[in-house]
Amino acid sequence: MAGRADSTVLAGARVVLPTGTVENGRVIVEGTRIAGSTRDDTRTVDLSGHWVVPGFVDMHNHGGGGASFATGTAEDALTAVRAHRARGTTTVVASTVTGDMDFLARQAGLLSELVEQGELAGVHFEGPFISPCRKGAHSEELLRDPDPAEVRKLLDAARGSARMVTLATERPGGIDSVRLLAEHGVIAAVGHTDATYEQTVEAIDAGATVATHLYNAMPAIGHRDPGPVVALLEDERVTVELINDGTHLHPAALELAYHHAGAGRVALITDAMDAAGAADGFYELGPLAVEVKDGVARLVEGGSIAGSTLTLDTAFRRAVTIDRIPVEDVVRSISANPAQLLGMYDRVGSLEPGKDADLVVLDADFALKGVMRRGEWIVEPPLG
């Protein structure tokens, strides 16, 4: 790992800014921040033939590098953070999985310490307040209805670090829990749900603003019973998460979401488990056994998809090269939109003066070649 770039100009690349792509652009780094002027001793790094984009922001991630946010120690969590940073994710929210309430509260406390240290951007509770009909890779015996008092218990355990809670909002207590979350400035996300179209509209009106991994773990679109997908896509107040790993979504489903929601309402996520960036084999997701084969994670019992082994550099490259999504739209989906949802856009999510110097260098084929976080090269691009 290289040292901090105290005063550096990254020159010659295609630079993606909020206003569009600048050919032969320049990004000026002073210490940990993006600057608007240079010093006489500024070092210039020639990145001709490359792209420079903002660091990726992953708002739904359970682990990586063989380590888990959901069940691991603080050191395990840091291992997962480092694994994803090396693949361009400079900001990550740690997601839990369904577990015993006391355990979840303890894990939230552990993760909140890393939020306070600046290693994580927050905590996302995925479960236990989800539908047994759409549980996916969650332990059914540990599921419970979203009692606002229990939701509040987890928020308190996170000590201000909770950023999102995924709920089956149609379950008893669901709407009241959405209102509670909205009152506390925490994202209420509709997911792992068996809700109808009408029930989903009610949840959005109550304050739900995110669709947890749209399409997955929810009823499919029906022409007489449109279900939650249509309600979530059509409402301008909702941002939809998409897992672009080639397993969770058909490219046409991804295109449909971009077409109806627009690039401003899509957040590309990993939903990664600890096998992300690690080898095939056997792992655990909470209390459940998972087998990863050819990069696809499935429960040993039942064969349900169990999160992903995705990293956001792969999601970015797929979106541009396979799905043919414009680069600027992918940047919005993978950086700006999640940063805005998390209330962090004043610091991350775009390449603008005063923001953290978090950026990713990609070659002409959109393969990752460099990662900088807060002015420090995590992966230094090859030069010369």
Q: Hey, how many other C-beta atoms are within 10 angstroms of the C-beta on 263?
A: 16
Is-catalytic flag, 271? Answer: yes
Contacts of 359 (CB under 8 A, 6+ apart): 10, 27, 52, 53, 54, 55, 90, 351, 371, 372
Contacts of 71 (CB under 8 A, 6+ apart): 97, 99, 107, 284, 286
Q: Are 211 and 240 in contact (CB under 8 A)?
A: yes
Q: Are 320 and 96 in contact (CB under 8 A)?
A: no
Go through 25-44 and write b for each residue having 16 or more CB atoms within 10 A of its CB, e for each that does not.
bebbbbebbbbeebeeebee
Q: Are 156 and 101 in contact (CB under 8 A)?
A: no
- In angstroms, the Cα distances linking 249 to 68, 191, 305 are 24, 16, 12
Q: Which residues pair with 124 in a beta bridge?
A: 95, 164
Q: Which of 58, 245, 271, 274 is catalytic?
A: 271
Of 154, 174, 168, 177, nearest in space to 104 by CA: 154
The encoded tokens of residue 113 equal 């310490």
Residue with tokens 């960036």: 277
Coil, strand, or helix at residue 309?
coil
Catalytic positions: 271
